[in-house]
A and B are shown apart, each in its own frame.
Chain A
């Protein structure tokens, strides 16, 4: 019984520490992010290995592929889901060139962590595809 209790306490404390170790920003306005896409190329990850810089103002964002300096723009909505979890909802292009995707962030520190990219419709096929990577908040 004592063992069970101390184990429970241990997990509680460790769990608590882990959850409070970082926080996602409350807003993305004015932020600059570096996105490093996972390096393994696959049909779901055609942008493998690229480094992208994303800048955000209140409603719109600009994403530049730093390896080629090509850029795209779109509108976004950011939701702060939990202390260490946030999600961007992106809308890029129009008509046949419309891309809709989300980037879900889990922080490791206040400035860096991992993301899951999840597209439902896009110019880069297949429409439905996912991949992961690392993000860094530059400022």
Chain B
């Protein structure tokens, strides 16, 4: 008994020591994955390009704020995370950071003083960046971004999420992959893989989350990689494999969507429209094609982005829904509401029109389990941002004023069963919830 107690006592001491060590012993930073010459300098524009590919702008620039001066709030279930100032300001930004400090943030989610970053910063993915890209990015932030003195509100999450050492435990699981893996980038598919798994951090939204809320799938070697996730109530659809858009769209169409937020089938909404605006439209056609080729598992071949000076015929179909809407007789409430409110652009075929009016037939947003985005778009509309190759800002107006909750539910439910779509109905209560949540914003 005594022995037993002693053993228990010893175990407690060991555990305490381990816990204290876990909390207080500095964590190791990952070393550079490649030794570059001390005088190595990035090519002109290389750092900015990595910045675009990494979409740093999306989080680190506040609405209407100076670029990268932080202050954007990122809502998480644990509380509000405030994106930091990453301009080279010495007082409020990262002006005092060394390259090693910078790399540690990207690879290990560590600040120079050893604190853990919240994994809203996708260091799970950024740790795959090559040393050259890390250096180029560092060079860009230190030398090309203007310093902005902008103190940002400190993130204050509720207990226990404010215990940052907890992230250390999380990191043991999440960061099991080695940093800066040596990527082959000689073929487009290899280049695409690198961009998707590292800078692009596509998995942050499009991979499911595991029980620890880490990305369930960090690389293409993982079974669930890019098999679809959920972000802020939105379905982030699967990007690879059966049923994914990549499986049905040609490489050129995928690349066009990435570069412009629109293609012959769909338009980008929600978070994705911001990714297009701040990141993907700035990539080269070759890189967007490479990403598309990787996602589809197919060579780029002759594929190109959709060009200009184009007339694109809209698709036809003879689905019973199409026939019913064309005849315009014996209409359900939802079908009648569709004709009165939606048909103008999306047409009786539910096929919309290439590059401008997205397809509703077979649209993952329409049939998603998460009905909030569909309802939200019916109520408040949607907007595709102006991009370099497609400068037109495309806007769908909202119907919050014109349609009641019951009517939105009717029309949404109609969409979810029309043209072969097969998803459960939406209720007026679902609509009321979205309407209330949005008006609370």
* Chains A and B form a bound pair: no
Give A residues with C-beta under 8 Å from B: none
